[in-house]
Amino acid sequence: MPDSNLEIVRRAVQAIIAGNWRAALADLDTGVELDQSRPSGVYRGRAGVQEAIERWSEVWVDRRVQAEEFIDAGDQIVVVTHESAKSARTGVALDRRIAEVWTLDGGKVVAIRTYPGRDAALEAVAAAHERS
């Protein structure tokens, strides 16, 4: 029996947090798109996703990320994370919650889009379901 979309995303998120790139990228489609238009842009492909996350990790020290919630919406999974870190350059502290919508097709993650919070992500999912 194939893994559910929720299981696929949960596994990928935990692997990213652990820095296990082989496991993290395994369930991503080769053409996956990571949209973090704020603050850093859009990244394409598995290498692009890895680059985006590594770049973010390089500028922050004492970085902690915890997945707090996974919301199953069928072909989309909302992931709410809490992140805390300190700027390597300035020492400024970061403490935030963000949400991502992970979209899957045929058991592969085809898109990840970042939102400023849980409500914005859920609204995006609801709007996508209304269009389909």
Confidence of residue 39 (pLDDT cuts 50, 70, 90): low
Secondary structure in 3-state letters for 68-92 = EEEEEECCEEEEEEEEEEEECCCCC
Cβ atoms of 12 and 28 closer than 8 Å:
yes
pLDDT tens figures, 107-130: 999 999 999 999 999 999 999 888
Per-residue pLDDT tens digits for 72-115: 999 999 999 999 999 989 999 999 999 999 999 999 999 999 99
Contact 99, 117 (CB under 8 A): yes
pLDDT at 130: 87
The count of residues in the chain is: 132
Give me the chain's average pLDDT, please.
92
pLDDT tops 90 at residue 53: no
Would the pLDDT of 38 be above 70? Answer: no
Pick the CATH number of 5-131 from 3.10.450.50, 2.30.29.30, 3.40.50.10260, 3.30.70.100: 3.10.450.50
Domain locations in the chain as residue ranges: 5-131
Its pTM stands at 0.91
DSSP state of 132: -
